[in-house]
Amino acid sequence: MTRVLDRSYPSMLALAVLAVLVAACVRPMEPTAPVPPPPPLTDLNLVGAASALAADLERQMSPGLTRSMVIDPLLDSRTGQQTVATTRVQQELIQAFVAKISQATILKFDGAGAGQARLLVSGTLTALPDANRFRMTVALSDRHSGIVVAQAATQFVEAGMDPTPTRFYADSPSLVRDRSVEGHMKTAETPAGQAADTLYMEQVPTSALLADALEAYNAERWSDSLALYNTAVLRPDGQQLRTFNGIYLANVQLGQLAAAEEAFSKIAALGLATNNLAVKLLFKPGATEFWPDPKVSGVYPMWLKQIAKVALASGSCLNVVGHTSASGTEGFNEKLSLARAGAIRERLEREAPGIARKSQVSGVGSRENLVGTGTDDASDAIDRRVEFKVVACTP
């Protein structure tokens, strides 16, 4: 009988011996201690959050990207206003950008700076339900391509964040949250790689001019502020609520009341044309009468006269919507907001007889608060507003 040899056997035996020898030489791996997770970002304070956010933006940017940038002043995401808190956050972000973003050059957001900068920084601050907890969101947009090249957000805990609006916003007779402001806030939330808001990006030169005018107003340089606002209004994209509010305010401060009234008429006309006219009228607590201090309410008759005049001339039918702060009960606020809307309609009728037939009233209490603190001071004045909405006329 012929015997068949398995020629693979010696090779297999050699491999087995080699494996045993290798195993004998390899020492078993010692268990490693688990790597502790990084501290949650929600436990950061403002300084730590600004540093973490800047580092995240740096990580997203391509190495060859020019790092010259301007910061469009941060806005409160609920009101669209600049506040003491947003100013504080912006100051911390500037320091963090310099420390964490390599070759960062931060230029002033004015005509010259906007003309030189490659990147536009847009950001918002949001107060979260938990006490002293906030969220900051920032996007960097390439002005050449219109694309958001980096975007980051983080939460932080910080006491003493003051929601009071800066002087221009506190003094403005109407809410200035218009299409341009919405574009700013939308861009801040846009993920990297997507297009920034087109209109917002196109309006950067005018926005920079308005920022310069606003800074002059806050510094009480009334004539300088008025000159800058008057320059902005001549631009094709300068017909904005921010512009007309600025012209109105600067003229009031300079005692030029006829010019201020003309500016307010343009606020009313633009607000009704865009269905975005929300006027801050301060009432006595729990009443339909205006706040008795003439320094506060002395201009209200002029405001209502211009609103009535513009509405009558345009043939618009209005829904007068009353709002209250959150300091009262829900039921009381509903009734009070409706009563205040009715009182305003009566005043409009006295200014322009016949307008009452073309208007209706409604009250929303405190359901549409933008601040919602119920402190009944300057910080939540915007919650105690009356809105004038254009509605379809009924026979």
Residues 6+ positions from 54 with CB-CB distance below 8 Å: 93, 96, 97, 99, 100, 101
Confirm if 239 and 270 have CB atoms less than 8 A apart: yes
Architecture of the structural domain at 37-202: 3-Layer(aba) Sandwich (3.40)
How far is 278 from 381, CA to CA, in rounded Å?
12
DSSP one-letter code for 101: S
Structure confidence at residue 37 (pLDDT): 52
How far is 213 from 232, CA to CA, in rounded Å?
9
CATH number assigned to the domain covering 275-395? 3.30.1330.60
Among residues 199, 165, 205, which one has the least CA distance to residue 182?
Answer: 199
Tens digit of each residue's pLDDT, the chain (395 residues):
433 334 444 444 444 433 433 344 444 434 445 555 554 555 899 999 999 999 999 999 998 888 999 999 999 999 999 999 999 999 999 999 999 999 999 999 999 999 999 999 999 999 999 999 999 999 999 999 999 999 999 999 999 999 999 999 999 999 999 999 999 999 999 999 999 999 999 999 999 999 999 999 999 999 999 999 999 999 999 999 999 999 999 999 999 999 999 999 999 999 999 999 999 998 888 889 998 999 989 999 999 999 999 999 999 999 999 999 988 899 999 999 999 999 999 999 999 999 999 999 999 999 999 888 888 877 788 888 999 999 999 87
Structure confidence at residue 377 (pLDDT): 79
How far is 185 from 74, CA to CA, in rounded Å?
9
Confirm if 347 and 394 have CB atoms less than 8 A apart: no
Confirm if 186 and 197 have CB atoms less than 8 A apart: yes
Structure confidence at residue 30 (pLDDT): 46
How far is 355 from 317, CA to CA, in rounded Å?
8
Residues 6+ positions from 12 with CB-CB distance below 8 Å: none
Helices within 111-256 (DSSP H only): 111-116, 167-171, 179-188, 198-202, 204-218, 222-233, 241-253
DSSP three-state, residue 62: coil
The one-letter code for the residue type at 386 is V
Dihedral angle sign, alpha carbons of residues 178, 179, 181, 186: positive
The H or E element containing residue 318 is strand 317-322
The one-letter code for the residue type at 284 is K
Among residues 184, 193, 205, which one has the least CA distance to residue 116?
Answer: 205
Confirm if 174 and 280 have CB atoms less than 8 A apart: yes
Angle value at C-alpha 273, between 305 and 387, nearest 5 degrees: 60
Structure confidence at residue 183 (pLDDT): 97
What residue spans in the chain does CATH classification 3.40.50 cover?
Answer: 37-202
The H or E element containing residue 391 is strand 385-391
What residue spans in the chain does CATH classification 3.30.1330.60 cover?
Answer: 275-395
User: How far does the chain reach from its first CA to its final CA, in angstroms?
Assistant: 117
Confirm if 383 and 326 have CB atoms less than 8 A apart: yes
Place of tokens 């007068």: 320
Residues 6+ positions from 155 with CB-CB distance below 8 Å: 41, 42, 44, 49, 128, 133, 134, 135
Provide the whole-model pTM.
0.86
